[in-house]
Amino acid sequence: MAPMIEDAVPNAVSFAAKSIDTPTLYSNVNEQELQSKASACVANFGTKFEKDIITGSKGLYVFTASGHKVADWTSGQMSCLIGHGHPEIVSAIHTHAANLDHLFSGMLSPPVINLAQRLTSMLPTGLDKAFFLSTGGESNEAAIKMAKVYTGKFEIVGLGASWHGMTAQALGTQYHFGRKGQGPLMPGMHMLPPPNAYRSIFRKPDGSYDWKTELNYGWDLIDRASCGSLAACIVECIQSSAGMHVLPQGYLKALKKHCEKRGMLLIVDEAQTGVGRCGDLFAINHEDVVPDILTLSKTLGNGLPLSAVVMSSEIERVCTERDFCFYTTHVNDPLPAAVGDKILEIVVRDNLVEHSRAMGLHLHAGLRKLKDRYGCIGDVRGRGLMAGLEIVADRTTKESALDLARKIANKMYELGVWANLSSHASFGGVFRMAPPIVISKEQLDEGLEIMERAFQSTDGTMPLY
């Protein structure tokens, strides 16, 4: 099956599969001098910087100032869907930078109209109109504000361990990290239990995950806490920052019924899952659920700052009548819109959704083999080319092993694979893998072999045979 799919996608996959030489743009930099400058003038924004300075990116790889070539299994910040430096994306950027880059926000342009038409034509009826912003946090902020304006209510429900952005309302519904140190957050924010099939205490007599009881229990608590002004619930189909936890089959439909029962809107945040990443064009297609508002970012721009808010014609009409406003400097900018339109064109034209599904099955099979071989791997989860691998000290107690995970990650990076393991305790020692969806079977096998060598050569991984 995989070879047939690869034959069907000669443009994107063949570009990514080429032998890539080190980019020369910053080939002569002095790394020590740059590190000194960075220490003097680059501010910390809440993360520990990696030790190497990246001087190039191409295809599936990033390159360091010291000449190290590393397979980028996180697509940058989970964004470069079809790889770094794709020639058609480079061309779209160059053409629009030279001819149609940025406009007064009230002016429309062909790239914005074309992107809106293409995107809404690919989505189910009920997601009929779109506008475009710069980041996922921005799109979620706009979606929450739109839900409040439309319903006339203000309480918002989010899921535990969620990540929706750093702006005020998005952060108010974000329960993974980043809430501390700033005083009160937005009023009226409520949290449902995180749907964590691996660690949840909600279990059926046979030990399987009882997500329905957990979800109903969470809504019962929210009903008790609510002041009667529930406006919307926002959810990710796969909670990536939480550790790649996939919503259980049926969860999203049940969530929508809970929202409808309370007169709320359902907002689905597909920052990472959208545009083919998970083996469906959009993750909502997998569950056959149409949210009231859909937000996209990351994958839509392939690394450029582009996000989308998509809603029904009726929601747009009512919000317009009620003076909804989300006016920003870069709303509906033509240059990033041209890139988004080209991304959607390529994904459909080159059958990358089917390719992502097939390569995802291959990736997950390889990760499960690793789990069979090393006792430190507690769980493998995800869907399509979006996978999580959790490192534990003991499979029975499920105690996290952050130090061990860090050592494995360092060895993987040394051998040539970057898989976005954060050392921060909130990430729980989980490798979060989301390589560009143009990755080939051979490149997956190469990365899996490097992972095997990293586990094999790191003390404490508990080989099982």
Tokens of 393: 């000290």
| CA pair distance 426, 176, nearest whole angstrom | 7
Residue 465 predicted with pLDDT over 90: no
236 noted as active-site residue: yes
Which entry of 58, 277, 407, 432 is annotated as an active-site residue?
432
**8 Å CB contact between 46 and 56:** no
> For the residues 212-217, what does the mean pLDDT come to?
98
Percentage of the residues of the chain whose pLDDT score is greater than 90: 81
269 noted as active-site residue: yes
432 noted as active-site residue: yes
73 noted as active-site residue: no
What domains appear along the chain, each with residue ranges and CATH number? 2-64+351-456 (3.90.1150.10), 100-349 (3.40.640.10)
Which entry of 72, 236, 280, 350 is annotated as an active-site residue?
236
* Summary mean pLDDT of the chain: 92
214 noted as active-site residue: no
N-to-C CA span, the chain: 31
Maximum distance among all Cα pairs of the chain, rounded to whole angstroms: 67
pLDDT for residue 364: 98
Work out the pLDDT band at 372, boundaries 50, 70, 90: very high
> For the residues 305-334, what does the mean pLDDT come to?
97
Work out the pLDDT band at 8, boundaries 50, 70, 90: very low
Tokens of 33: 């001098």
Tokens of 236: 């990710």
Which entry of 298, 371, 381, 441 is annotated as an active-site residue?
298
**8 Å CB contact between 59 and 83:** yes
342 noted as active-site residue: no
Work out the pLDDT band at 13, boundaries 50, 70, 90: confident
**8 Å CB contact between 339 and 303:** no
Which entry of 138, 141, 269, 270 is annotated as an active-site residue?
269
Long-range contacts of 250-258 (CB under 8 A, 24+ apart): 250/212, 250/287, 251/195, 251/211, 251/215, 251/287, 252/284, 252/287, 252/289, 253/287, 253/288, 253/289, 254/212, 254/215, 255/215, 256/289, 256/291, 258/215, 258/219, 258/233
Residue 18 predicted with pLDDT over 90: no
Which entry of 272, 277, 371, 443 is annotated as an active-site residue?
272
pLDDT for residue 3: 39
